[in-house]
């Protein structure tokens, strides 16, 4: 069983080993990463790459939480997590609850930009393109929405014009 499998399954062996380390060596109290920015003040025992989960302290090193996450996030692990997330089955009821809980949440421009950049260049499936096409047709049937979009476009145009004038 791989380290990721143990973590995902939260096996007794995995938990017991971490308990054993803390019992014999105490809580991690420093970051051994020489490039650590020193922002995070919480520390953890991290399994060294190419080492087995075993009752040997030499297989572990102390890292702050931030460095530990960066240290463990190899491309192989990213791929494994992505595969796990893609294969995870979510019920329609859960999807609806998630959708409802996110309604009305404010998303910063920075977050929106990160989301946009993450999706840039990724091809859309035929089904997704069809869904976008059909939903946009439905949206534009609404006279109220067309007026709202037109008003917003006018406001943007005026704002851009004013910015150009102020910049001169």
Q: Is the pLDDT of residue 154 over 80?
A: yes
pLDDT tens figures, 84-119: 888 888 899 998 999 899 888 888 999 999 988 888
Burial 13-45 (b: 16+ CB within 10 A, else e): ebeebeeebeeeeeebeebebeeeeeebeebbb
- Position 140 scores a pLDDT of 73
CB neighbours of residue 63 within 10 Å: 23
- Rg of the chain over all Cα atoms, to the nearest angstrom: 25
- Position 134 scores a pLDDT of 86
Q: Is the pLDDT of residue 167 over 80?
A: no
CB neighbours of residue 62 within 10 Å: 18
- Position 63 scores a pLDDT of 94
pLDDT tens figures, 50-83: 888 888 999 999 999 999 988 988 888 888 888 8
- Position 2 scores a pLDDT of 57
Residues with Cβ within 8 Å of 139's Cβ and at least 6 positions away in sequence, in order, are 145
């Amino acid at each position: 069983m791989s380290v990721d499998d143990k973590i995902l399954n939260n096996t007794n062996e995995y938990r017991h080993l971490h308990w054993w380390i803390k019992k014999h060596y105490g809580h991690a109290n420093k970051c051994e990463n020489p490039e650590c920015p020193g922002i995070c003040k919480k520390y953890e025992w991290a399994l060294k790459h190419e080492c087995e989960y075993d009752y040997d302290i030499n297989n572990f090193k102390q890292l702050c939480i931030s460095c530990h996450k960066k240290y463990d996030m190899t491309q192989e692990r990213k791929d494994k997590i992505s595969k796990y997330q893609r294969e995870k089955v979510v019920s329609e009821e859960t999807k609806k609850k998630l959708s409802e809980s996110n309604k009305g949440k404010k998303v910063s421009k920075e977050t929106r930009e990160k989301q946009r950049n993450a999706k840039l260049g990724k091809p859309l499936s035929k089904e997704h393109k069809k869904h976008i096409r059909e939903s946009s047709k439905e949206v534009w049937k609404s006279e109220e929405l067309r007026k709202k979009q037109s008003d917003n476009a006018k406001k943007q145009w005026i704002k851009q014009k004013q910015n150009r004038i102020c910049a001169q």
